[in-house]
Amino acid sequence: MAVSTIDNNGVNLGQLGNRNMIINGGMQVDQRNGGAAVTVGSSNTFVADRIVSRNSTATGTITGQQSTLGNSKSAKLTATAAVTDLTAVAFVHGLFTLPEAQDVYHLNGQTVTLSFVVETNWTGNLPVNIRSHDDARSYVVDAAVVSGINNVSVSLTLEAATVDAIDNGKGLTITIGFNNEATYQTATTGAWVAGNKLTSTSSTQWAKTTGNFINITNLQLEAGDTATPFEHRSYGDELARCQRYFNNLTYGVSNSALFVGAYYNTISLYGNISLPTTMRVSPSLTYSALADFKALSNGGSQPPTLIVVSAHGTERPEIQFNTSARTAGHAVFTRTSNTSAWMHLDAEL
């Protein structure tokens, strides 16, 4: 195990090209929030695509937001009101990401390096954690940081079954800046331990002080014992990778076409929405409001009374609209009815 500043003097040429196993490690893509601040809740709250936080404490306020750091986009967490309870199972999860199993299975038993740039306004020990697919095995190390910008790298060897399968499930979890003073603490750093441990007894509980923040960018996981320069991918490439897990279909205009379908019976119509990329699994659907959509047939324009994903698919999921009575078999054209319409298709880990 080694913790050090990043050495960018040498690059392993055999690793060039798709060497970073982290999707959106440059925090470029923020489909859900569009750069707006969000309050981190007790369930998974996305600060940027694939970059998540949680606050289970019911105390204080943790604000997350896509930000900037140097010449890069970043993901920033701020204790806008201090957290006062980190005992038992109460925690602030920091920032975490879940690489897909089939992307990291080949790293089992191998030495890997996790590197990132972090800005803080405090000095202390920042916990860095990798956990196995089932959270049964944990590796925690404290990175000493000072107020300002810090380059951090952690090298370790994954265990033989850190990732359990070559499939589309969770491979492992990477967490930076976890806060807890009880259940999830370990006194052992720099080694694999049993259990779900994400911080150490010497880690700084930064969320206990109002105004403290962590601001992270250039998050990279790669094979080998050396942190190579951050692999910058184009926004379009990174967006396509993110859309495997989440699609924000924001239309922005009235009368934007959704799909052409037909009434299966007198109230239910069906059609398929084409997606820009194949999703990880069949997605769930949320949407802005029923009033933001309409169905047009030879019976006129009808607002929907229900919108659901009726037949899941990873490329062209089937959408069901229910309306007031119409004629079975009639063709129908669905559209947005105002500029605020959106649909979210979610296939996150």
Token code pair at residue 235? 């926004």
**Mean pLDDT, the chain, integer:** 94
Give me the percent of the chain exceeding a pLDDT of 70. Answer: 95
Mean pLDDT of 135-145: 98
* Angle 71-76-77 from CA coordinates, rounded to 5°: 165
More confident residue, 38 or 313: 38
Distance CA(145)–CA(152), nearest Å, equals: 8
More confident residue, 63 or 13: 63
Mean pLDDT of 322-335: 94
| pLDDT value, residue 9 | 42
Residue-range domain boundaries for the chain: 2-242, 246-346
Of 3-17, 86-100, 265-279, 329-343, the poorest mean pLDDT is in 3-17
Mean pLDDT of 52-78: 98
Token code pair at residue 89? 């199972």
225-242: pLDDT as tens digits: 999 999 999 999 999 999
Residue 13 has pLDDT above 90, yes or no: no
| pLDDT value, residue 124 | 98
Determine contact, residues 162/132, Cβ cutoff 8 Å: yes
CA distances from 204 to 27, 69, 263 (A): 24, 22, 59
Determine contact, residues 309/284, Cβ cutoff 8 Å: yes
Residue 8 has pLDDT above 70, yes or no: no
| pLDDT value, residue 312 | 81
Q: What is the rounded end-to-end Cα distance, in angstroms, of the chain?
A: 29
Token code pair at residue 35? 């750069």
pLDDT bracket for residue 336 (50, 70, 90): very high
SS3 225: coil
Residue 5 has pLDDT above 50, yes or no: no
Residue 6 has pLDDT above 70, yes or no: no
Mean pLDDT of 255-274: 94
Report DSSP state, residue 106.
G
302-311: pLDDT as tens digits: 999 999 999 8
Give me the percent of the chain exceeding a pLDDT of 90. Answer: 91
What is the fold of 2-242?
Jelly Rolls (2.60.120)
Residue 11 has pLDDT above 60, yes or no: no
| pLDDT value, residue 35 | 98
| pLDDT value, residue 250 | 87
Distance CA(151)–CA(9), nearest Å, equals: 14
Distance CA(184)–CA(179), nearest Å, equals: 9
Mean pLDDT of 151-161: 98
| pLDDT value, residue 83 | 98
119 has which bridge partners?
149, 215
The identity of residue 167, as a single letter, is D
